Structure 1
Amino acid sequence: MGAGRFAPSPSGDLHVGNLRTAILAWLFARSSSRGFLLRIEDLDRARAGAEAGQLHDLAAIGLDWDGDVVRQSERLDLFDDAIGQLRARGLLYECFCTRRDIAEAASAPHAAPGAYPGTCRTLDEARRAAKREVRPAAWRLLTEPTEFTITDLLHGEYTGAVDDFVVLRNDGVPAYNLAVVVDDAAQGIDQVVRGDDLLSSAPRQAYLASLLGHRAPEYAHVPLALNAAGARLAKRDGAVTLAQLALAGTSAAQVRAQILDSLNLPTSSLPAALAAFDPAALPRAPWIHSAAPSGR
């Protein structure tokens, strides 16, 4: 059997919505006799001390994981190898578009919302050489389908857009969609549990996995935590991290109990929740979290 994972970006403290997703990923993995791995996705937005704080908070709510923590920044050779494979097969091309270029081109009536319109796809070498003098190129995947279908444990069959997405940014950093596919395959991860805001990216990632000869993982995109106004929960929404909640008098064990209660699971412990866990019985609506006032 393979493994599931939780893969935060070390951009700051985890909030209760992040911790809820981590608990769900742990429950899905452990209930299916999979391993549970922890990966720090630190290619971008890494903040000093954030990783240590995140590991502390995950342990504080009772989560355990198998093996060593993996960091993407230590695995650049894997990403370079995958990019080399795609380039050798003629599946990448240089793109010189700015975000503004893409936004203006995509606003045309015939363009799919959010899709790259293929501006640089057919540039000849002379035009590419001229553009290289102005700005460095990102590298995009030359895709054939315009959509791809994945199967999700909570959403069923989901078909989403597949455009010529970036796999290597113009600053030389591997893009998220490439890094996550390569890492999941290299780690033997065959179950991906994450927030449903990432559901639309799954078809792109599954398609890329197929090009690299990997099987797409089993997906479960879970509802997000929202604030009282119905917007995605953020750290500005009062006391929403373990440290902030501790100042407001709420312990890590109490936070875990609140999260488990939001999932209609026993609140006494993670083992008790695991014994009662049934993916089919999970709430499908977002969790509205009423944050406590900040203790500061």
Structure 2
Amino acid sequence: MDTGSFPSYLRYVAIGDSQTEGIGDPDGAGGHRGWADRFAALLGAGTPALRYANLAIRGRRAAQIRSEQLAPAVALRPDLVSVMAGMNDIIRPRFDRAALLDDLHAMFDELTAIGARVITFTYPDIGGVAPFVRPLSPRVRELNAEMRRLARRYGLTLVDFEPVAATAHPLVWSADRLHLSPLGHDLVARAVADILTLPGADATWRDPLPPVRRGVAETVVAELTWTTQHMLPWIARRVRGRSSGTGVQPKRPDLLPAPICRTDEADTQAATQLFGPAHTL
């Protein structure tokens, strides 16, 4: 790979919801790592001067990301920004498509106006990840189509996950089927690195993953467990009008040196599930 063609970024800021905060990817110290931390580590390995901030908070919808995170992100004067927003809007019963698009337009307009390179995403079919929400699949496809149009309009860097089957693989998702697993966060980090042509990055994140085979009894137990442990508590929070992000503050509000690349026990366990003990991430 020609490393000389890769632009040097010095200030990377991530905004968004739980995926960007890193839920589903424990850091071993009681917090969360996540794809943005992992990507920042990859980026910082080649740019020691890189500084990285993560303003994302779990449960946030696009309007909240716009109102709470956009201005602080702009104030940090980033030259690289990632925006992952919209999924928390889609899964709500009262989905306002026009309002979501207005918020996305506003964020992309302001971020590109300061000269930052903006990374954004399409989403895998959540109906393939969690059958309970399969009726929402058309919303995901519509949002993805809009994201492609927005990418063209604003000159965004789009990571198009929808056509990549690996992004809906069961082991890419955590037990709640709403958040990425450590393997999933690793996949997203490698995808962003590939799209930005980081030195050493490649397109292996697109490769098919081995199938997960379950018998009927195992499938029934898995669905009942998911319903009682994850779906019903999620519905209860919605009924009470509470969010998982209530009272949560950004984990990394200031520009700090990038994390260091490392492989931990969660990565090893996820890789072993897929490929056996000889493989590590």
What interval of TM-score do these two structures reach, taking the shorter chain for normalisation? 0.3 to 0.5
Greater per-residue helix proportion: 2
Greater per-residue strand proportion: 1
TM-score (norm 1): 0.31
Which protein, 1 or 2, shows the higher relative CO under an 8 Å CA cutoff with sep ≥ 6? Answer: 2
